[in-house]
Structure 1
Amino acid sequence: MLQRRRFKQTKPLYERLADEAVRLREEARSLLPGQRRDMLLRKARQDETAMQIENWLRSPGLRPPT
């Protein structure tokens, strides 16, 4: 049976998403308009949306069901 590799993340998810969004936007800035640039900007927006969703899920307003 195959064993799954597991490792502990050193940075929280929101930090990893923020870092990747910044990296993608910087890479897109260096490209000419085109499909590759659009794809990088779309991925950066997806990362930013994921950060917002994660913040909503971690907000104190959400309570687990009792």
Structure 2
Amino acid sequence: MTQRRRRFKQTTALKERLIEEAASLREQAKLLEPGALRELVLRKARQTDTAAHMDEWLRSPGQRSRS
């Protein structure tokens, strides 16, 4: 028997979800004491911000294929 993928429609855009996640990670980092774990959370927040910017860049009109 083959498994079926569970599919669901996202209610918010990827960029918005990434920005919210980055903000949430920064709030978590504020509650942590300075150290390796806090730096790891802040690094994840920066990576999430970068992903949001990449999504915006890839969706910009200048990136459309010229077929």
TM-score relative to the length of structure 2: 0.92
Aligned residues: 66
Name the CA distance, whole Å, in 2 between partners of 1:22 and 1:63: 30
Structure 1 residue runs of 4+, over 2 Å off? none
1:36, distance to aligned residue in structure 2 (A): 1.3
TM-superposed deviation, 1:65: 3.7
| Aligned equivalent of 1:9 | 10
Alignment-mate amino acid for residue 15 of structure 2: Y
Q: Which runs of 5+ in 2 are unaligned?
A: none
1:41 is matched with 42
For 1:51 and 1:24, locate their aligned partners in 2 and report how far apart those are by CA, in whole Å: 14
RMSD (Å) for aligned C-alpha atoms: 0.9
Q: Unaligned stretches of 5+ in structure 1?
A: none
Between the aligned partners of 2:13 and 2:52, the Cα distance in structure 1 is 11
Alpha-carbon deviation of 1:11? 0.5
Identity, in percent, stands at: 55
TM-score scaled by length of structure 1: 0.93
